Amino acid sequence: MWLGWMVRPVASLLLALSVCLVAVAQQPIGSGRHATGERPNIVVILADDMGFADTGFTGSTDIETPHLNALAASGVTFTSGYVTHPYCGPSRAGLLAGRYQHRFGFETNPAYDPSNPYMGIDVNETLFPERLRRAGYRTGMVGKWHLGAAAPFHPNKRGFDYFYGFLGGGHDYFRIDLRQPVKEGYTEALERNGLPAVFDGYLTTALSRDAADFVDRNAEKPFFLYVAYNAPHAPLQAPDELLQKYSHIEDTKRRRYAAMVDAMDAGIGMIMESLQRNDVRDNTLVFFLSDNGGPQASPNKPSSWNGSSNGEFRGGKGNLYDGGVHVPFVASWPNHFPHGAVCDRPVISLDIAATAVALATGSEELPRKLEGVNLVPIVKQPEAGPKSRYLYWRESGVRWSILDDKRNKHVLDRPNRSPELFHLATDVSEQNDRVKEEPEIAEQLRNAWLEWNEANVASRLNNYKGYHKLRDQFFLDSIPAKAKKEGYSPEPIPTFPK
């Protein structure tokens, strides 16, 4: 039974009660260019490889995030907010499709290859920005795509009227240099609506500036803006002035990471200021989340840590423990959502698509394929939401996890381990395996996961590392036999100075 909305201090964010608790406050009166009754603008801001505990509103004390803190204070913080995958590409595929990416075989990061018309998100999938565009929204994307670099997968062909950013999984933060090996495209040119583009200064700031410009150009009609930062994803690069600001942090990785988060927070401030400047903030629903948890060191990858903190959560990027999939998750809509609210009810990135489509179309009947739930009733009337719900994960076809609305979590994070059962409400660190004590709960959850998995398909993508090996071998095999016999070997590709 859901409790009513109540005030709860930020310090208790991680005390899991599996209920929504929100400040009882008079709803703001509609104002600005779009009044309360009109369709809202929708903005989704996505961080990349950000640790759960690296914002002020989730407990960070050494990284300054005033704009994110203000965003959380103006809306609802979902303390049990999840994404559909523990790393980049599949998580983004689930977010934009509004359905589990396992339904269409997108279960690994695609390689960056503009010449491969198969290495990307299924062209038969309707992404939710396209649904919003059909409903009359102007749609824009700024930042990291990572859903396929070839023409069929281009953002302008997948629901976005406007695109400025890059198509691969990351980018250098200071330079474009076409003399470098292409590999994953980290020094390739950016794009603006299919044409080559550049940036000045620091990439995070340039993306933020462009996102704010999109608001300035489109404030006259309902718009959807997807701001997909690559910060604080590697490479760990930051402006000198911000590195100096955090010089008191002794660990160099943590220092650079902190500076990168700070720059992203300042960029989010630019976007929020543009909403205010155009008098549309009150009727704009803004989401913020990360695509997965922060990377952590492991015995097999001791250098994989990027300086992030997932707080009390076990594991990180790549894990199906909460450190990999439990992320900061905020929704702010001043005209409709309470301010300074906290909700412990499990939600997932799929819910963003469902919420956006419901608001854009004005229909209570969501498209059949969407698998999320509309968060507006959950925020406004918790008792109106679904009383029973499972969240699911699958990775590489063999690792799996399931979470119920009571926050019982059944997980197989590694095939060489036995499945574990945790009660997250009392064990956020996933340390106390309860399979032996509660086998009936484990069996119920496992059966529910197996039923969900019946509708999934095998991943139709080779992972990017394996793909590059196959591609390299293809080019080597293309060398004529006579040349090989004569001892031909390719010249090493020079690496130019940064």
Residue 32: inside a domain: no
Cβ(325)–Cβ(87) below 8 Å: no
pLDDT of residue 116: 95
Instruction: Please give the biggest Cα pair distance in the chain.
Output: 82
**Which pLDDT band holds residue 1 (cuts at 50, 70, 90)?**
very low
**Which pLDDT band holds residue 489 (cuts at 50, 70, 90)?**
low
Neighbours of 126 (CB within 10 A): 16
Neighbours of 466 (CB within 10 A): 12
Residue 229 CA, distance from chain mean position: 9
Please state the rounded mean pLDDT for residues 424-449: 98
pLDDT of residue 29: 36
User: Smallest Cα–Cα separation from 346: which of 393, 283, 314?
Assistant: 393
CATH number where 231 lies: 3.40.720.10
Residue 446: inside a domain: no
Taking 70 as the threshold, does the pLDDT of residue 110 lie above it? Answer: yes
pLDDT of residue 492: 59
pLDDT of residue 321: 98
Taking 70 as the threshold, does the pLDDT of residue 17 lie above it? Answer: no
> Which of the residues 34, 146, 410, 423 is marked catalytic?
146
Distances (CA, A) of 460 to 184, 263, 473: 19, 36, 20
Cβ(274)–Cβ(215) below 8 Å: yes
Residue 365: inside a domain: yes
Amino acid of residue 64: E
Percent of the chain with pLDDT over 70: 89
- Is 146 known to be catalytic? yes
Taking 50 as the threshold, does the pLDDT of residue 421 lie above it? Answer: yes
Residue 467: inside a domain: no
Distances (CA, A) of 230 to 46, 49, 215: 9, 8, 20
Q: Strands 41-47 and 223-228: what pairing?
A: parallel
Cβ(170)–Cβ(109) below 8 Å: no
Sheet holding 329-332, edge to edge: 20-21, 341-343, 76-78, 329-332, 284-290, 41-47, 223-228, 138-144, 162-166, 190-192, 195-197
Residue 458 CA, distance from chain mean position: 22
d(CA 353, CA 95): 7
d(CA 179, CA 171): 15
Please give the residue range of the domain that contains residue 275. Answer: 39-384
Taking 80 as the threshold, does the pLDDT of residue 490 lie above it? Answer: no
Residue 203: inside a domain: yes
Taking 50 as the threshold, does the pLDDT of residue 9 lie above it? Answer: no
**Which pLDDT band holds residue 37 (cuts at 50, 70, 90)?**
low
pLDDT of residue 318: 96
Q: Which two tokens stand for residue 449?
A: 């996961």
Cross-strand bridge partners of residue 197? 190
Looking at the structure of the chain, the number of domains it has is 1
Amino acid of residue 30: G
Cβ(392)–Cβ(85) below 8 Å: no
Please state the rounded mean pLDDT for residues 209-227: 98
Taking 60 as the threshold, does the pLDDT of residue 355 lie above it? Answer: yes
Predicted structure pTM score: 0.92
Please state the rounded mean pLDDT for residues 351-370: 95
Please state the rounded mean pLDDT for residues 112-132: 97
Residue 406: inside a domain: no
pLDDT of residue 463: 87
What 3-state DSSP class applies to 81?
A: strand
Residue 495: inside a domain: no
pLDDT of residue 4: 32
pLDDT of residue 298: 87
pLDDT of residue 384: 64
Please state the rounded mean pLDDT for residues 86-95: 98
Please state the rounded mean pLDDT for residues 455-476: 90
d(CA 372, CA 353): 7
DSSP 56: G
Amino acid of residue 266: A
Residue 33: inside a domain: no
Better pLDDT: 176 or 396: 176
Please state the rounded mean pLDDT for residues 371-381: 93
- The tally of CA atoms less than 13 A away on the side-chain side of residue 130 is 15
Please state the rounded mean pLDDT for residues 251-261: 98
Contacting residues for 10 by C-beta, under 8 A, at least 6 apart:
57, 342
Tell me the DSSP string of 141-166: EEEE--SBSSGGG-GGGTT-SEEEEE
Q: What are phi and psi of 453, to 5 degrees?
A: -70, -20
pLDDT of residue 299: 84
- Is 20 known to be catalytic? no
Q: Which two tokens stand for residue 28?
A: 């703001």
Q: Which two tokens stand for residue 469?
A: 């090996």
pLDDT of residue 453: 98
Neighbours of 357 (CB within 10 A): 22
Please state the rounded mean pLDDT for residues 85-109: 98
Give tens-digit pLDDT for 283-338. 999 999 999 999 999 888 889 999 999 999 999 999 999 999 999 999 999 999 99
d(CA 22, CA 82): 19
Better pLDDT: 122 or 484: 122
> Which of the residues 85, 88, 233, 410 is marked catalytic?
88
